[in-house]
Amino acid sequence: MDLELAGKTAVVTGASRGIGLAVAQALAAEGARVVAGARTSSPELAAVAATVVPVDLAAAGGPERLVATALDAHGAIDLLVNNVGGNPGPTRTAPARRSRGRPDSTARRSSSSCPA
């Protein structure tokens, strides 16, 4: 199926492994220029991403740096796949204070790259 992504620039967050890596691979296979934002890189990611940006989206300025790098390298962003989050362990056994912060933390990281 041709998704008409050839030549489009796609920014993928959380792209170093798991779902993010699979999305980056699928977009690259469709001909998209992938700008991958991740705290760490991997050989698999380097093989498919046009640009890998080491970034922590929870850090001040992280989302802006990811977007600026994508724009500098490719001139425009056509697609954003916001795959941030993480799994610090089972919620069921986590202290209530830590569990309450998980959805808020994930939402904050996810939404912070949208306006940038």
Is 1 part of any domain?
Answer: no
Is 2 part of any domain?
Answer: no
How far is CA 37 from each of CA 97, 98, 108, rounded to the nearest angstrom? Answer: 29, 25, 16
Buried b (16+ CB within 10 A) or exposed e, 50-70: ebbbebbbeeeebbebbbebb
DSSP E strands in 30-76: the ranges are 33-38, 51-54
Is 18 part of any domain?
Answer: yes
Is 81 part of any domain?
Answer: yes
Residue 24: give the domain boundaries: 9-112
Is 3 part of any domain?
Answer: no
Question: Residue-wise pLDDT tens for the chain (116 aa)?
Answer: 788 999 999 999 999 999 999 999 999 999 999 999 999 999 999 999 889 999 999 999 999 999 999 999 999 999 999 998 766 666 666 666 555 555 554 445 444 555 55
Is 4 part of any domain?
Answer: no
| Phi, psi of 8, deg, nearest 5 | -85, 155
Question: What is the tally of structural domains in the chain?
Answer: 1
**What is the CATH classification number for the domain harbouring 40?**
3.40.50.720
Both tokens of 50, joined, read: 């046009």
